[in-house]
Amino acid sequence: MIFRQSLFAFASFCLLSSIGYGHYPENNAHVYDSLSLKTGITEAQFNDAIDQVEAFYRPLYEEAFGAKLVINRNWRSSTVNASASINGSTWTVNMYGGLARRAEVTKDGFSKVLCHEVGHHVGGYPYYSSRWAAAEGQADYFATLSCARELWRDQLAANAKFRKSADSFAREKCDDVWDSEEDQNLCYRAMMAGKSLGELLSNLGGTEANFDTPDQNVVTKTATRHPVGQCRLDTYMAGALCEKEWDPSVIAGKQGSNSASSETKTLPYTCMTSQGFDGYLEGVRPSCWFKSVLN
Ligand SMILES: [Zn+2]
């Protein structure tokens, strides 16, 4: 397996579209960046968000997956992107100041980008075909379904602030699914972080993304590359609205396999519509990128 992973050492998977699988973002937003910009988040917030992800995931990577998590803090770089790669047992995330300085990016939105990159490593099925990395949509789904919950679950006071400030439509959706005030607050926060990121991705793609205008596209086969901004916001929402509890010590699904047996392994941790399973209406991976192979 190590040999197989090392074959893919040159492949990295990003937050935004890239040419091939390299580090080269299609967007040219870096030309608008400057270290003197006061938009987005501060360097201290950039480091703090990374510290939090490292504190939770570094021991977990080691204990559960036998891997070393390395997060590179490229604050001075103007790159408006982030990426994940694997080389043997070293699993790397690259974060860039150019992304952190974008006006749309809140600290929670930035944390969600970190979660997306971690999701490429450990977010499971569906995968980029025959590769180690979770598909883009799955990395987004994992970001709110698992990672944001793990990071913020105990931050009750911070979560509670979203009861007043969160978008009313997002609040209603959360209240439909979650009964306890604590779960609702966490859901509001995850939704608003998704909005921060959805806006960034939409602006870079020249589109719009709103809570109440879901993407109507229906794919006939799972799309593994970057969905449009609206579809990605829909996915962040779905993760926040799925009542299942992900197990962060499990990579659900057989690595690199998009088979029915791989999808079946994710059923304990994800919400599915179709069934013999659980028949969830909310919290399912959106059909703008995901197509179940079980029906
Ligand atoms: Zn990605």
Full DSSP string of 32-66 = G--TT--SS--HHHHHHHHHHHHHHHHHHHHHHH-
Expressed in angstroms and rounded, the spacing between residue 276 Cα and the centre of ligand 1 is: 31
pLDDT of residue 117: 96
Distance 135 CA to ligand 1 centre (A): 7
Q: What is the pLDDT of residue 131?
A: 84
Query: What 3-state class would DSSP assign to 251?
Result: coil
Q: What is the pLDDT of residue 26?
A: 59
Side-chain half-sphere exposure of 295, counting CA atoms within 13 A: 8
Alpha carbon 243 to chain centroid distance?
17
Q: How far is the CA of 179 from the centre of ligand 1 (A)?
A: 32
Distance between Cα 181 and ligand 1 center (Å): 32
Distance between Cα 153 and ligand 1 center (Å): 24
Quick one: which of 86, 118, 120, 122 has its CA closest to 6?
Answer: 86
- What 169-176 contacts at long range (C-beta under 8 Å, 24+ apart), as own/partner pairs, is 169/211, 169/212, 170/195, 170/211, 170/237, 173/211, 173/237, 173/241, 173/282, 174/240, 174/241, 176/282
Cα of 83 from ligand 1 centre, angstroms = 7
Q: Is the pTM of this model over 0.75?
A: yes
pLDDT at residue 247 in the model: 97
Residue 182 CA, ligand 1 centroid: distance in Å? 29
The alpha carbon of 217 and the centre of ligand 1 are apart by a number of angstroms equal to 20
| Among the listed residues 97, 109, 135, the one whose alpha carbon sits nearest the alpha carbon of residue 224 | 135
Distance CA 189, CA 103 (A): 19
Instruction: Say how many Å lie between the CA of residue 96 and the centre of ligand 1.
Output: 14
Query: Residue 2: its pLDDT value, please?
Result: 35
Q: pLDDT tens for the chain, 295 residues: list them.
A: 333 443 344 467 788 865 333 333 457 778 778 888 888 999 999 999 999 999 999 999 999 999 999 999 999 999 999 999 999 999 999 999 999 999 999 999 999 999 999 999 999 999 998 789 999 999 999 999 999 999 999 999 999 999 999 999 999 999 999 999 999 999 999 999 999 999 898 888 888 999 999 999 999 999 999 999 999 999 999 999 999 999 999 999 887 889 999 999 999 999 987 654 556 778 999 999 999 998 7
Ligand 1 centre distance from Cα of residue 13 (Å): 5
- The ranges assigned to domains in the chain are 2-266
Backbone angles phi, psi at 175, to 5 degrees: -65, -30
Instruction: Judge contact between 286 and 231, C-beta under 8 A.
Output: yes
User: 202 alpha carbon to ligand 1 midpoint, in Å?
Assistant: 15
Q: How far is the CA of 63 from the centre of ligand 1 (A)?
A: 24
**Of the candidates 275, 265, 6, which has an alpha carbon nearest to the alpha carbon of residue 131?**
6
Report the 10 Å Cβ neighbour count for 143.
30
CA of 114 to the centre of ligand 1 (A): 10
Report the half-sphere exposure of 281 (CA within 13 A, side-chain side): 3
The pLDDT assigned to 279 comes to: 62
Tokens in use for 246?
A: 């992900």
CA dist., res. 183 & res. 189, Å (int):
10
**Ligand 1 centroid, distance to 187 Cα (angstroms):** 22
